[in-house]
Amino acid sequence: MTRLLPLRDAADLEPARADVLDAETMRRAGAIVDDVAARGFDAVREHAERLGDVAVGAPLVLDREDLLAALQALPDDDRQVLERTAARIRDFAVAQRSCLVPLETEVPGGRAGHVLAPVERAGCYAPGGRYPLPSSVLMTAVTARAAGVREVWVASPRPSPVTLAAAAVAGADGLLACGGAQAIAALAHGAGEVPACDVVVGPGNRYVTAAKKLVAGEVGIDMLAGPSELLVVADAAADPGVIAADLLGQAEHDPDARPVLVAVDAPGLLERVEAELAHQLAGLPTAEVARQALSRGAAVAVENLAAAVTVCDLLAPEHLQLLVADPGALTSRLKHFGGLFLGARSAEVFGDYGVGPNHVLPTGGAARHSGGLSVFTFLRVRTWLELDDVPGELLDDVARLAELEGLAAHRAAALRRAGG
């Protein structure tokens, strides 16, 4: 019988590719981005209607009053869930923001330092294809506001009432009711009422990712997001039912999601988890999607924690969950992950749904060089320099470096400060 979660050898595992965009996807996304840049809002509407994001002639831009109306119409219990979640995300983001402070330090001849400034406008994308994701609206827009961004816009295809309400709770100024490359192009270049944003963030499908890649440099982006990933490291004491539930929670995201289990010195654990997967899938509404994702994942047995760490650092997963006896002792040995979840209580789904840290995290091995979305994504660190005097050694060094580079005007400009 074919296993739900295939057995694999640790030596055969490979990290996911951070950039899985094929040439045809890039070509199609590029044509849309260029069209929106050239024709603006008319192009956004044409592509949105053609691709089924919005009915012909239906409103494409919703203003703050529309969002507030959706929030007002939401049942009180649902509204309170959104508000409590937004508050937890905001509290964590504000705490992160407090870690960065202005700097002033002495340098030869004077002082230097940095100041912190948020970007003026942020565009926040929230997927809306297979499932509505109001949580992504909260994660991106609330964090932008916590960073001090003056104007925040959301884009989401076929937004549900709860998505609109989430945008209101997050403090969004407006919402563009379309997705794909046309939405990213509108946020980056501006289109009609939608202003050109300085930073465009949020996960999406391959066309969203391709468009973000194309506009990067013209605007800031957070990352190029790929299919979601979860790596669970478990030992003999871990609960197979909990492991299976966590793997399925990741697998139901997308057929291309990657759930991986690494069992550490735990004979029989992989078989018990396999049985739990079968049992839990039987009643799962999203079982069809989850089965496909499980087939792309892996179940790996290793002899010790050192071997588990090697697998973790090789894959550099988006989410890394430690279901081991002493997760804290393992933490310092791990080098590459997007978000870390320590212990049996710390389910990855709590990260998805706003316990505090952001759920927009690097995928495809990008955790080797990037962190997740945070207030830092929306902040600029700007340096300054003020010299009252120019010490002789500094002047000599600058003049000599200019000579070494063959830049005579640089040398002359420095020497004019001699004796100042």
Asked if residue 168 lies in contact with residue 102, where contact means CB atoms within 8 angstroms, the answer is no
In sequence order, what E strands does 22-71 have? 61-63
Residue 124 φ then ψ, to 5°: -120, 115
In sequence order, what E strands does 252-345 have? 258-264, 298-302, 319-323, 339-342
**306-343 burial code (b ≥16 CB/10 A, e <16):** ebbbebbbebbbbbbbbbbeebeebeeebebbbbbbbe
DSSP state of 140: I
Asked if residue 228 lies in contact with residue 249, where contact means CB atoms within 8 angstroms, the answer is no
Instruction: Please list the active-site residues.
Output: 318-319
> Which residues, in sequence order, are CB contacts of 41 under 8 Å at separation 6+?
60, 186, 191, 192, 193, 194
Residue 292: CA count within 13 A, CB half-sphere: 10
Alpha carbons 407 and 329: distance in angstroms, whole number = 53
Expressed in angstroms, the distance from the first to the final Cα of the chain is 83
Please state, as a whole number, how many other Cβ atoms lie within 10 Å of the Cβ of residue 200.
Answer: 30
Alpha carbons 374 and 360: distance in angstroms, whole number = 8
What Cα–Cα distance (Å) separates residue 374 from each residue in 28, 145, 161, 200, 338?
30, 11, 26, 13, 12
Alpha carbons 243 and 233: distance in angstroms, whole number = 9
Asked if residue 124 lies in contact with residue 352, where contact means CB atoms within 8 angstroms, the answer is no
